[in-house]
A and B are shown apart, each in its own frame.
Chain A
């Protein structure tokens, strides 16, 4: 039965690796300026983790094959170098790997979080609520009006709690249910949660960030391909969580200007 175990183990290891090696299941094509660094890091880690996985499973299978089914009184022996070589191997191999992944991986993280948005980046405020996203643009004055939670009224479409009667900056703010952005233009996204925790995930954009109630966070990114992409909520937020979606509409600059004009006219 030991030999059968060894064979099954090898088959499982090979079958597990097959879809990875043949790239059957891969992330959708990256449409961001920072995403390639994340993808590279993912691929490097896949190679290292894959080798560790196959190496360990094959070794386990080989030893099970070789050291089962022996005579009951067969003599046992041990690797002469003993534990020292195992401990040394763990420190040297894994230690190097940890350092390499850790150090190089930080670059991809830093690209997203340790750079400041360009001063001329387009500001968009994203608000998450049970179970929708809304987006606000500052309008021609370039300024967002303040939020008043007590003024929120879903029925009349005042999702953000704006008070244009009293706040001058709010009067030209543009509110939309989709996030339209111009291609190749840096976006500075300001994130606001209305009720509970949510998250903003666009797979193609390699951006995922929580909305935290009481903590307005910001992110910046640049989309490089025109198209419509799904924005999904990835933080469990209640019964309609699975249905909390919006679209990221990456437009050419001309189309975006046209879209913005139409929206301003609608307000």
Chain B
């Protein structure tokens, strides 16, 4: 593929003043950190919400001190009501999927490292980049506002199925202004993500340094590039879907509402819409969204594994082509969320085969990671522990996909905790392991100070064992037929499963608490951590060729020239067992792999 020597045509001047340096910054590195900070706030909020849900499930009448101040109606006397449980569930899902799993692995790390890794001074459109963050930030504020309006947050789940989400407050509390907040927030989020995705694509295609061919890009750059292509097409569908939902709710249209509905004894003044239309539009976005979360994590983990193994992967090409196949197939499988929704049963078959087929590229990824470990010299760090933990989670969450891809089994497992276990492991925990791994690996580069490794390893052990204790039992609950999105099981057929539910809740409380070790480590290391050298992990890619933290224009006045594939490890170089991408030095023995 052709090389490009283009440098950003629109290099901006060094920022002046606090406001332009740290708030409305055009610098992709500041914007990356802003995305990271937003994801951090969202993830801890989402985690506390999940604590409240788990707590309510096993101790439904327990008083939680202080909760009555958050919502007098939702938690009178500090006791969570069933409808408030649904609010917590909706907000947890929305915060985690959009503001954590999309922001952290993709927008945060992608913004910070993609331009550096291809040798660019900034993104192609720095102003769009700033706008994409601030639009996303506004989306977050609008969503969180729902907590503070009298009606409370919406109760229709993160999937906001119509007509529950479309008919307004007749259908229940939170479905008035709470649901409006949700729809406006997600529409804004889509707009922000589209700007971001466009920027990533333009930057990768146009601003690669001299010698940086496509195949010389690091795997995580590839992952961000492929993900931005997915995001461009996926958010472009969710955005109009949200606009139609807002119109149904506020302008009296009937895109998603059929005629003859009687809600709370009121005949609804709508006709001609289809609830399935919302489901099609939502899942056309919703399934690719899974890969928007997991592919960047897979890219980050590949990048860090290679560094920790001190050898390249068996084949970088196999990883890149597998990621592309996954991205391509991700648009053909949305209907597997809708096997039981009343689509023509033939479409059940049509969606099942491509879903099962995704297993092939996913298995190639796993086998390449596993096979590459053979003969490695693995350096154990907090970053590499999380990267290895990622492989384990990716497998555990992936194999349960086999069940749910088959419509016949889905008849039984659909809407049970089995599904909850599946997507939390593969999309939630695995993607977060990618984020943790990336954080321990790149924190020094981003802040100029190293994170504490001992605390990092402690964080890993509790999180790794803890997440298995939480999410593996979810699968068992699902096998027995335990339904998700129920606020209580006490007087239920599911009563006998309460001990297992209690075990999960205790595991969730402990694992959640361990995340404060991570938070402490982040804040402490930011101010008191050991100074970070330029290349603490003996890495080969361009981010390690610049100071920690890099200057505002990344490479100073130099224009890096690229001489090698990204991962020259396990060679005899002048500095050790590696040669950097921008070093003209030739390895005596070329690195293995392709």
Interface residues of A (CB under 8 A from B): 1-2, 5, 8-9, 12, 16, 19-20, 24-28, 37-38, 41-42, 45-46, 48-50, 52-53, 56-57, 59-60, 63-64, 67-79, 82-83, 85-87, 89-91, 93-95, 97-98, 101-102, 105-109, 112-114, 129-130, 147, 149-150, 152, 154, 161, 194-197, 199, 201, 203, 206-210, 212-215, 217, 230, 232, 234-243
Contacts and interface: CB of A to CB of B under 8 A. Distances in A.
Given A90-B360, A113-B345, A130-B171, A78 B408 contact: no
Contacts of B225: none
A240 B371 CA distance: 51
Contacts of B465: 8, 12
A208 B413 CA distance: 9
Contacts of A45: 402-403, 406, 409
B380 A68 contact: yes
A242 B493 CA distance: 12
A109 B345 contact: yes
Contact of B378 (A64, A94, A112): A64
Given A199-B415, A212-B276, A83 B395 contact: no
A102 B275 CA distance: 28
Contacts of A68: 378, 380
Interface stretch (B32-40, B232-240, B426-434, B482-490): B482-490
Interface stretch (B156-164, B186-194, B207-215, B528-536): B156-164
B440 interface: no
Contact of A102 (B273, B356, B378, B493): B356
B555 to A, nearest CB: 30
B547 interface: no
Contacts of B483: 201, 232, 234
A67 B378 contact: yes
A79 B457 contact: no
Q: Nearest 7 CB-CB pairs, A to B?
A: A214-B258, A83-B315, A108-B408, A113-B345, A239-B83, A77-B375, A234-B415
A150 B479 CA distance: 42
A213 B359 CA distance: 34
B71 to A, nearest CB: 14
Contact of B262 (A41, A105, A195, A237): A195
Contact of A67 (B313, B373, B569): B373
Interface string B291-312: 0000000000000000001110
A197 B160 CA distance: 11
- Which of B82, B352, B392, B408 neighbours the largest number of chain A CB atoms within 10 Å of its CB? B408
B367 A60 contact: no
B388 A94 contact: no
B396 A53 contact: yes
B375 A76 contact: yes
- Counting chain B CB atoms within 10 Å of each CB, which of A26, A114, A238 scores highest? A238
Nearest to B415: A234
7 contacts: A27-B480, A56-B366, A89-B363, A106-B349, A106-B408, A214-B274, A239-B86
A94 B409 CA distance: 19
Contacts of B361: 90
B510 interface: no
Given A8-B465, A64-B373, A83-B318, A90 B157 contact: no
B488 A242 contact: yes
B52 interface: no
A7 to B, nearest CB: 12
Nearest to A238: B172
Contacts of A194: 261-262
Given A16-B472, A41-B406, A86-B367, A98 B360 contact: yes
Contact of A76 (B172, B175, B265, B309): B309
A105 B577 contact: no
A210 B411 contact: no
Contact of A109 (B156, B408, B477): B408
Nearest to A108: B408
A212 B263 CA distance: 14
Contacts of B263: 130, 195-196
Given A83-B593, A196-B161, A232-B483, 13 more contacts: A1-B380, A16-B468, A25-B479, A25-B480, A26-B479, A63-B376, A95-B360, A113-B345, A152-B267, A199-B340, A208-B340, A236-B86, A242-B486
B476 A25 contact: yes
B370 A236 contact: no
A16 to B, nearest CB: 5
A70 B373 contact: no
A238 B414 CA distance: 19
B406 A105 contact: yes
B377 interface: yes
A60 B396 contact: no
A203 B481 contact: yes
Given A27-B480, A238-B172, A109 B375 contact: no
A53 B360 contact: no
Nearest to B309: A76
A105 B464 CA distance: 34
Contacts of A85: 371
Given A42-B403, A45-B406, A5 B275 contact: no
Contacts of B593: 78, 82-83
Interface string B374-409: 111110100001001001100110011011001111
Contacts of A95: 360
Contacts of B86: 236, 238-239, 241
B275 A197 contact: yes
Nearest to B345: A113
Contacts of A113: 345, 348
Contacts of A49: 399-400, 402-403
A53 B395 contact: yes
Contacts of B5: none
A196 to B, nearest CB: 4
Contacts of A199: 340, 415
B524 to A, nearest CB: 22
Q: Which of B157, B349, B399 has the largest count of A CB atoms less than 10 A from its CB? A: B399
A134 to B, nearest CB: 13
B406 A152 contact: no
Contacts of B310: 76
B101 interface: no
B561 interface: no
B342 interface: yes
A203 B479 CA distance: 10
A1 B457 contact: yes
Nearest to A39: B412
Contacts of A101: 356, 402, 406
Given A27-B479, A149-B260, A79 B374 contact: yes
B513 interface: no
Nearest to A48: B402
A85 to B, nearest CB: 8
Nearest to A233: B483
A107 B546 CA distance: 59
B320 to A, nearest CB: 12
A45 B376 CA distance: 33
Contacts of A72: 377
A241 B486 contact: yes
A79 B375 contact: yes
Nearest to B166: A196
B69 interface: no
A9 B392 contact: yes
Contacts of B2: none
B341 interface: yes
